[in-house]
Amino acid sequence: MAEKKEKKKSKIKKIQSAGHMRKIMADYFYELNNAAKAGSPKIAWCTSVGPAELLLSMGFLVYYPENHGAILGSTRTANDYIPVANAIGYSPDICSYLTSDVGAFIKGETPLTRAYEGIEGVPKPDVLVYNTNQCRDVQEWFNWYSKELNVPSIGITTYRNIGEIHDYHLEAIVGQIKDLIPTLEQISGNKFDIDKFKHFVGLSRDCTKLWKKVLETNTAVPAPISFFDETIHMGPAVVLRGSETAIEYYKLLLEELEGKVAQKDGAVEEEKYRIYWEGMPIWGKLRDLAEFFIDLKTAVIASTYCNSWIFDAFDPDDPFTSMARAYTEIFIVRDENFKEKYIEGMINKYKLDGILFHDSKTCPNNSNNRYGMPERLQKKLKIPSLTINGDLNDLRCYSEEQAKTNIEAFIEQLEAK
């Protein structure tokens, strides 16, 4: 007789709000699916740090292909699709969100169909709107869909690698945001309305403030939520910013985490070390890494990645310039000096013992170990750093054994300090 298999108990502590998050994310995808079927409201695809508030103000529902890329990664289906995009000329060396998403589209598949009954595919766009603040890949990605689906791709081409932000940067970006309006009016059939725009910038500002507070609960010792959980709970900040739904969600999550702080209920039992994660998540290994670090009594609790959806600058009284600033002052746009100071501030604020750099093979834009930063920070801050090789979605780039051996050695180094 076959032995009854015992279900392995996860070491990861539950976040109760997760149930509510799953519900609002499901509602979000069903709303898009219904709109795509009905042809109304119109759907805009937008890059993750693109001008979402403008699109919402003009009546579009907004879908984010990068979020879909992350779903392909976390469901570990990305590697089924990357070769499909490679076969049509998109290199295995470019963004694996792009290659997995395009490959899945060519095959006519999406994990959304398994997750949400009745959804047959991703919601087809009426317009594609990018911002190159994060990378060139997003523009190429949308250009492919533009040709494939015969849908206009419009966007903002911004500065990269900048230190101080000057008015001339913002003026150029504001000009480009305004240039999007006539096309969006034509596609949506709605006239641009400055009050609606202000309204959505205000909602995004409120969402961002709460998301920031959520992340800052981890300044407490022990920290109540891991980086790995944060990457999941940031979903509403990415796809539902500009909505009351996201604001309500982060109030709920914040209350729960503040309760954990009060009870000293840390994400890692007997937390011994606190680590910064620099770079992209390895989506297909979130759970595995979360459990691995729990065993090492190490809390990975602050990151550049999750902080990238904090947009302090949003100001509904000055929606164009504040939006230009919000989407320009993010980490990925800035130069090495800015980034180093930023990480230094995070290390102090979150009382961290070490920095883990993830060199994500297909995303040089979010891999900050390549120009000597780990060595400079190590020298300046006198805390150790480790670089692991991997990728956001392409698990062929990640050697689990090597990464774990290196992480264990790194923690031993912290112990010896």
Under 8 Å between Cβ of 44 and 127: yes
Residues near ligand SF4 (CB under 6 A) are 66, 95, 97, 134-135, 137-138, 280, 363, 365-366, 392
Terminus-to-terminus CA distance in the chain, angstroms? 53
* Eight-class DSSP state of 94: S
* Eight-class DSSP state of 9: P
Nearer to ligand SF4, 196 or 361 (CB): 361
Least distance CB 240 / ligand SF4 (angstroms): 19
Q: What is the rounded distance in angstroms from the CA atom of residue 50 to the CA atom of residue 63?
A: 11
Nearer to ligand SF4, 60 or 283 (CB): 283
Nearer to ligand SF4, 134 or 208 (CB): 134
Least distance CB 152 / ligand SF4 (angstroms): 20
Give Cβ neighbours of residue 76 (< 8 Å, ≥ 6 apart).
Answer: 284, 395
Least distance CB 66 / ligand SF4 (angstroms): 6
Handedness of CA 34, 36, 39, 40 (dihedral sign): positive
Count of residues making up the chain: 417
Least distance CB 102 / ligand SF4 (angstroms): 12
Nearer to ligand SF4, 249 or 331 (CB): 331
Nearer to ligand SF4, 49 or 253 (CB): 49
State the burial class of residue 204 (Cβ atoms within 10 Å of its Cβ: 0-12, 13-18, 19+): buried
> What dihedral angle (degrees, nearest 10) is formed by the CA atoms of 205, 206, 208, 214?
160
Nearer to ligand SF4, 280 or 326 (CB): 280
Least distance CB 54 / ligand SF4 (angstroms): 20
Least distance CB 96 / ligand SF4 (angstroms): 7
State the burial class of residue 198 (Cβ atoms within 10 Å of its Cβ: 0-12, 13-18, 19+): middle
